[in-house]
Chains A and B, each alone.
Chain A
């Protein structure tokens, strides 16, 4: 800016100087030219008078320093010349000023010398005797004048230029200084030129707009981060070249990636073949999905292309954990298969026995044994069906009547029923602790304690013990059943609550049970907002605890 101002001021100054010099020179040149011509004319007319009175002798007496005098006869022959020998001069009749004087009495002309540096001014007058007197003077041309003036002009120009440059520089600086001092962060607080105020106001409003836009953007971003940060599903956004634009914490955990992976190629965090194929497919078709095991869990990956106005902008990758779902599906399939199997086995046994009896193969003595077998198998079926009904009731979550139940009383009731079984196995039963009042479904709680104690006796060692302890605290009741039995290996802890799951895979008849007991316990506990935990060591015993939350009731 300073440079521009400086340059324009300097240019103007130089142009003005040159122009004024030119104008002054030309005006003065013409003025002095006019004066010279009139002096010449005056001189000539004086000379012609003197000539007429004094004759040729006058011509010779004159001093010819400043001008030249020529006397020409009417036919053009030179009679006298102050600067040359008249006899050698050519005829002057065709000279312009002579011709003019011959016709109109006076004549004048200006001719340039061959070197262009001088002009010669001629004035001629017709004398009474018909001859012509011519006076001429020399004068510098504009060109030679300027040539002579060149040095002083250059000096003046140089000095003026330096001076104006210095002044212009200072001025430009002064003009620009307020502009340089402008505080663009706070445009309205500036004390600058008035002409700038619309600009500053505009700047201010734009700044405000940008700020509010930024706030909005930040807010949106925070919102997005909050949503994606708290969701369990892994979410990754890619741009159209496959770089990661955004990745939420769940996805970072899933792909083992750092936050620094943003901006990197997605392949740097996941390069498996099925993902690459899915990415390609999604790029072409707009959508792709596949399931894959990752970190021991099954994930469903959904890839969708982001399109807008026909352009491909990027990709969304969403991954969610479907392990539970897959397990549930598998459990359901297994449950159906197991139920059919469990129902079929006793029935087949009943049918077999009945057919044998029907065909009369069975001896009279064996009939009671066969009948007993049929009865026991049938009652096993009933137990099984009872359990299944109970489970399906729990699955459906049907509302059942609630009442305050003392777990200790229930445990004592259970013990009465199980005393015989315990004696048979030589297992001692003990219940200790508080009353443990829980608001719940009496029948279900009974089943819970019964199943746990039944298992504790069944899987105990001779001479072992079963201890039920109940601890009541404000807001919670803890029920735990501890045995000194065979224990459960840690890998089975999760699965013992699954339907028909048995640690002993052989489905042996040795341990009588439907395989649904603990499953019912789990569902019944969940129905009462209870949390089940298992502590067990092989050959040391098992402790199953249920923590009932009583605050809400």
Chain B
């Protein structure tokens, strides 16, 4: 019985890693599509979006089954409840990657030329997602803490880009629609950073039993 449970936890762990990998792939691809103006790549990201959703449902089902049938405690319970929260964030990341790809398609091959900052921001966001998944894989609290700190960098990029776009519009050197699309992409990237932070926080919760963003009396703190 116990063995079966361990086997299922192993499967759960693997599925979360797979889902994380899918999300990484999705943002990396949509960013690449954005920078190079590769429409095929962007369309591929959009058509693969359902896979991440499907994965979320699968993991959710597995978690529910584990909770109901095995009544896990302590560490296992934290892993499962953490997983339930994490997949929501991962799914959001996938959605946002999809949305960016959608904008890329809408831009119709127009690249962010002259706006390298958005590429840098995307790389930062990708790194955050990668690190947060790495933190989960290795159950590395230090790495997870680093991710939560990295969020400020992405937020900084966002405000820089926002100001850049404001100047562009003020100078009338770009059309408004393009500028807004860029802003949307920047916002999506910023949200991705937030979701990566959430994932990192749930990783910390899974390992230590305390969620860094919660108060002491909260149920999830275990205190």
- Per the bound structure, the CA–CA distance linking A121 and B119 in Å amounts to 124
| CA gap between A509 and B86 in the complex, in Å | 62
A271 touches B10 (CB 8 A): no
Given contacts A273-B22, A273-B25, contact A267 B17 (CB under 8 A): yes
- Chain B, 118-140, CB within 8 A of any chain A CB: 133, 137-138
Closest to B16 in A: A267
Whether B18 and A267, one on each chain, are in contact in the complex, defined by CB atoms closer than 8 angstroms, is: yes
Query: Residue of B at shortest CB range from A269?
Result: B137
* Assembled-state Cα–Cα distance A271/B24 (Å): 10
Interchain CB contact under 8 A, B20 and A271: yes
Residue B65 interfacial (CB < 8 Å): no
Interface residues of B in 11-31 (CB under 8 A from A): 13-14, 17-18, 20-22, 24-25
A273 to B21, alpha carbons, bound, how many Å? 7
A265 to B14, CA, bound (A): 7
Taking A271-B133, A271-B137 as contacts, is the C-beta distance between A265 and B21 under 8 angstroms? no
- Is the CB–CB distance between A268 and B22 below 8 Å? no
For residue B10, which residues in chain A have a CB less than 8 angstroms away from its CB? 241, 265
Q: How far apart are the CA atoms of A253 and B13 in the complex, in Å?
A: 24
B94 to chain A, nearest CB (A): 13
Find chain A residues with CB under 8 A from B13 CB: 265, 268
Contact with B along A263-281 (1 / 0, CB 8 A): 0010110011100100000
The answer for the CA separation of A241 and B133 in the assembled complex, in Å, is: 21
Q: Which residues of A contact B138 (CB under 8 A)?
A: 268
Residue of A nearest to B17 (CB): A267
Contacts of B25 in A (CB 8 A): 272-273
Inter-chain CA distance A166–B17, complex, in Å, is 66
CA distance A242 to B18 in the complex (A): 13
Note all chain A residues with C-beta closer than 8 A to B21: 267, 271-273, 276
Min CB gap A210→B, angstroms: 26
- Bound-state Cα–Cα, A267 to B137, Å: 9
Residue numbers in A under 8 Å from B20 (CB-CB): 271
| Distance (whole angstroms) from the CB of A101 to the closest CB of chain B | 85
Q: What is the CB-to-nearest-CB distance from A84 to chain B, in angstroms, rounded to a whole number? A: 82
Q: How far is the CA of A241 from the CA of B8 in the complex (A)?
A: 12
Which residues of B sit under 8 angstroms from A241, Cβ to Cβ? 7, 10
Tell me the total A-B contact number using a CB cutoff of 8 A.
Answer: 30
Considering the complex, give the chain B residue whose CB is closest to the CB of A267.
B17
Q: Please, how many angstroms separate the alpha-carbon atoms of A271 and B133 in the complex?
A: 10
Known A-B contacts A268-B138, A271-B137; the reply to A276 vs B18 at CB < 8 A is yes
A354 to B14, CA, bound (A): 73
List chain A residues, Cβ under 8 A from B7. Answer: 241
Would A265 and B22 be within 8 Å (CB), given that A241-B10, A271-B133 are in contact?
no
Q: Nearest B residue to A257 by beta-carbon distance?
A: B138
Residue of A nearest to B139 (CB): A268
Residues from chain A with a CB closer than 8 A to the CB of B18 are 267, 271, 276
A328 to B67, CA, bound (A): 56
Residue of B13, B14, B20, B133 with most partner-chain A CB within 10 A:
B14
Which of A241, A242, A271, A273 gathers the greatest number of chain B CB atoms within 10 Å? A271
Residues in A with CB closer than 8 Å to B22 are 273
Q: Which residue of B lies closest to A274 (CB)?
A: B25
CB-CB under 8 A from A272, the residues of chain B are: 21, 25
Closest to A256 in B: B134
CA distance A406 to B88 in the complex (A): 76
B24 / chain A contacts, CB cutoff of 8 Å:
271
Alpha-carbon gap, A501 to B15, bound state (A)? 48
Least distance between B13 CB and chain A CB atoms (Å) = 6
- Encoded as 1 (CB less than 8 Å from any B CB) or 0, chain A from 226 to 268 comes to 0000000000000001100000000000000000000001011
Shortest A347–chain B CB gap in Å is: 39
Q: Chain B nearest CB: distance from A70 CB in Å?
A: 84
**Distance (whole angstroms) from the CB of A533 to the closest CB of chain B:** 36
The CA of A273 and the CA of B29, in the complex, are separated in Å by 11
- Assembly CA distance A272 to B24 (angstroms): 9
Q: How many whole Å from B142's CB to the nearest CB in chain A?
A: 15
Within 8 A of A (CB), among B45-79: none
Task: Give the CA-CA distance A57 to B48 in the complex, in Å.
Answer: 132
The interface residues of chain B lying within 8 Å CB-to-CB of A242 are 14
Q: Residue on B with the closest CB to A271?
A: B21
B10, chain A: closest CB distance, angstroms: 7
Within 8 A of B (CB), among A264-302: 265, 267-268, 271-273, 276
Q: In whole Å, how far is A428's beta carbon from the nearest beta carbon of chain B?
A: 48
A245 CB, min distance to chain B CBs, angstroms: 15
In the complex, A265 Cα to B20 Cα: how many Å?
15
B interface footprint on A39-67 (CB within 8 Å = 1, 0 otherwise): 00000000000000000000000000000
A241 to B14, CA, bound (A): 10
Inter-chain contacts of A267 with B (CB < 8 A): 14, 17-18, 21, 137
Cα of A273 to Cα of B14 in the assembled complex, Å: 14
Q: Cα distance A273–B130 when bound, in Å?
A: 13
Of all chain B residues, the one with the shortest Cβ separation from A272 is B21
| Chain B residues within 8 Å of A265, by CB | 10, 13-14, 17
Q: How far is the CA of A268 from the CA of B13 in the complex (A)?
A: 9
Q: How far is the CA of A272 from the CA of B10 in the complex (A)?
A: 19
Complexed CA–CA distance, A401 and B1 (Å): 78
CA distance A271 to B17 in the complex (A): 7
Cα A81 to Cα B175 with chains together (Å): 147
Nearest CB in chain B: distance from A195 CB, A: 41
Cβ of A268: which chain B residues have Cβ within 8 Å of it? 13, 17, 137-138
Least CB distance from B43 to A in Å reads 17
Distance of B137 from chain A, by nearest CB (Å): 5
| Bound-complex Cα distance A241 to B10 (A) | 10
Q: Spell out A's residues near B (CB within 8 Å).
A: 241-242, 265, 267-268, 271-273, 276
Q: Which 5 A-B pairs have the closest CB atoms?
A: A271-B21, A267-B17, A268-B137, A273-B25, A265-B14
CB pairs A–B below 8 angstroms (29 shown): A241-B7, A241-B10, A242-B14, A265-B10, A265-B13, A265-B14, A265-B17, A267-B17, A267-B18, A267-B21, A267-B137, A268-B13, A268-B17, A268-B137, A268-B138, A271-B17, A271-B18, A271-B20, A271-B21, A271-B24, A271-B133, A271-B137, A272-B21, A272-B25, A273-B21, A273-B22, A273-B25, A276-B18, A276-B21
Taking A241-B7, A268-B137 as known contacts, 15 extra A-B pairs with beta carbons closer than 8 A to each other, sorted by chain A number, are A265-B13, A265-B14, A265-B17, A267-B21, A267-B137, A268-B17, A268-B138, A271-B18, A271-B21, A271-B133, A271-B137, A272-B21, A273-B21, A273-B22, A273-B25
